[in-house]
A and B are shown apart, each in its own frame.
Chain A
Amino acid sequence: MPTALPTPRARLRFAPLLGVLAIALSPTGVPREAAPAEVTSPAKVAYDAKQKEYALKAAFLFHFAKHTAWPKKSLPKDTSPIYVTVVGRDPFGKVLDSVLRGKKVDDHALIIRRYANVAAIRDAHLIVAGHLSAKERDKLVAHCRARAIFLIGDQPGLAARGALASFYLKKGKVRFEMNRWAIDASGLKISSQVLKLARFVQERR
Chain B
Amino acid sequence: MSILSKFDHLAQTYDRLGPADSNPLKVTFDRILSSTEGVINGRQTILLGTNNYLGLTFDEGCIEQSVAAVRSFGTGTTGSRVANGSYSGHRDLELAMAQFYGRRHGMVFSTGYQANLSMLSTLAGREDYLILDSDSHASIYDGARLGHAEVIRFRHNDPDDLFKRLRRLKDHPGSKLIVVEGIYSMLGDSAPLAEIAQVKRETGAYLLVDEAHSMGVLGATGRGLSEAAGVEADVDFIVGTFSKSLGSVGGFCVSDIDGFEVLRVACRPYMFTASLPPAVIASTQEALRRMIQEPGMRVRLRDNAERLYHGLSSLGFQVGPQASPIVSVAVNDNETAVRFWNMLLHGGLYVNLALPPATPTNKPLMRASISAAHTPRQIDTAIALFADIGQRLGVIPSREPVALVA
Asked if A and B are interacting partners, one says no
* B interface residues with partner A (beta carbon < 8 Å): none
